[in-house]
Structure 1
């Protein structure tokens, strides 16, 4: 059972629904400790008073900010006292079309669940009504000492809450794009070829089809080092496409697409095991494959056109 990280109520109109907030995702990143190089000695971090050098307990630490010649400190209770709704309400102020929210505003997703059986009816009423209208409720609430702008939306089984960035937290991408217009504008032919490639690679969104291959490779690395074996490096990333080579790269990609296969660059060969790479090399008729190391196999496979079926 996931741990509840916040409890309060969600309000719309005059309806108040007690709910709990739960993380909708979990991190599967491999966790490492830190050690001094050449030893098995763990590295630990302590909270230390910079003047006395003495360690300070968590209960003796308060938040503060420099002001003039001194420091103004605040207790967590004081922050809770001034929080909107005393940090325990999600007040929906308006409903908007979910599709109108630019994805750049989205931060994290949480699940909202009613805190008791008697609150399931109003909870499901709100979920079904938003599902019928395609609307999301915009609200603010305070979590862990920070106020968040949120979008409450209807999922198939539960209410989801997405924390959003405020407008002044979004950086203007125009500040990053300063390329001369004569170099930045593609030709009509290039656009047509790129469109053909995109259409040939289009498909349904199936999140189950994607896996965290890097974590698997890290596990493989650790297991190999534990056995004292040699760790094979992955193939180097493709080189950037030069402007002069752009049309040729597009033409080759279109040819691949018309033959019913994706461009080779779209495949992550690092996700395959050594045995699978050997099998792929055999199917492609790559000579000398039995003597190749992993990185050489990946490079050979990536540069060999697939045989037409």
Structure 2
């Protein structure tokens, strides 16, 4: 793996030099856009909107529009905006793992100690493991300040970039129903949830969509037609809710006995 960020973690007066690695991979298939007439690839060009001429990547800079002019920024400007946060992941507080909502998580990054940081790395790792807490930290990467949580995963420190509060939309804008449900229905639903509760097995879940998509691609490349299975979900009518809950419980019980 190649590190994507080098710097240090600090908690209290302890500083740990680290390297950061992406902890996940994008499983999405790379599909090219084609002209449907001759299947030639569609390519994007970086074009100067005044001259219409293509601009080389090395000649492209970033700018902030102010009134009718642009303020051009270079790499040093981004670093200078907050030099400390461009080099340091500052843990500012600790929280209980249970307090974190999944909606906050964006992407995990693995952290590896650099030279002379091994002992302090293990110190933070063991302390987090034994307390069951996460470190809340901020740092700058790619010209953006990031809020993050630092914990332990498979004996390594892992940093989760999370969203700031103002990046999460207010669910109050959703059209949520106010339909009443009875206590009996809720109790039945709780029983169903308990029946389906198991110890989470991370390895059990596989990305099968890409596999299926690849099968279609291979079939098309050999001139074969693929069978399309139609599926359309239908809402369970309110009057059938209890019956469906009972049927679900019975189905689960039979499945458990069979296994």
TM-score by length of 1: 0.78
Deviations 1:142-169 (A, max 9, x none): 0111000111112231101011111122
Q: Which moved more, 1:237-246 or 1:4-13?
A: 237-246
| Secondary structure of residue in 2 paired with 1:80 | helix
In 2, the alpha carbon distance for the partners of 1:100 and 1:66 equals 40
Query: Do 2:85 and 2:138's aligned partners in 1 also have CA atoms closer than 8 Å?
Result: no
Match of 1:207 among 179, 197, 202: 202
Whether 2:194 is the aligned partner of 1:196: answer no
Q: Bigger shift: 79-88 or 215-224? A: 79-88
Whether the 8 Å contact between 1:84 and 1:141 is mirrored in structure 2 is no
Do the aligned partners of residues 84 and 134 (structure 1) sit closer, same or farther apart at CA in structure 2, a change above 3 Å counting? farther
Residues 172-193 of structure 1, C-alpha deviation per residue, up to 9 Å, x if partnerless? 22321442x3x2x211121122
Unaligned 5+ residue runs, structure 1? Answer: 263-307
Q: What's the CA shift for 1:240?
A: 1.6
Distance 1:205 1:144 in 2: 34
Counterpart of 1:160? 158
Larger helix share, 1 or 2: 1
For 1:239 and 1:178, the matched residues in 2 are separated by 19
SS of 2:117's equivalent in the other structure is helix
**Higher normalized contact order (CA 8 Å, seq sep 6+, divided by chain length):** 2
Is 1:225 the equivalent of 2:223?
no
Cα distance 1:86–1:159, how it changes in 2: closer, same or farther (>3 A)? closer
Q: How does 1:1-150 map to 2 (within 5 A)?
A: 2-85=1-84, 87-116=86-115, 118-150=116-148
- Report the number of matched residues: 259
- Is the Cα contact below 8 Å between 1:150 and 1:161 reproduced in 2? yes
* Bigger Rg over Cα: 1
1:236 corresponds to: 231
> What secondary structure sits across from 1:36 in the alignment?
coil
CA distance in 2, matches of 1:123, 1:135: 16
* Aligned residue among 224, 246, 252 for 1:251: 246
Distance 1:40 1:133 in 2: 58
Query: Cα distance, 1:112 vs. partner?
Result: 0.4
5+ residue gaps, structure 2: none
TM-score (norm. length: structure 2): 0.93
1:5-56 deviations in Å (ceiling 9; x for gaps): 0001111122211101001111222211221113231111111101111111
Structure with higher strand content: 2
Task: Describe the shift of the 1:208–1:86 C-alpha distance in structure 2 as closer, same or farther (beyond 3 A).
Answer: closer
CA-atom RMSD, angstroms?
1.9
Q: CA deviation at 1:85?
A: 0.3
How far off is 1:84 after superposition? 4.6
The answer to which of 141-150 and 202-211 deviates more is 202-211
Moved over 6 A (4+): none
- Rounded to whole Å, the distance in 2 between the matches of 1:120 and 1:83 is 27
Are 2:195 and 2:252, in contact at CA under 8 Å, matched by a contact in 1? yes
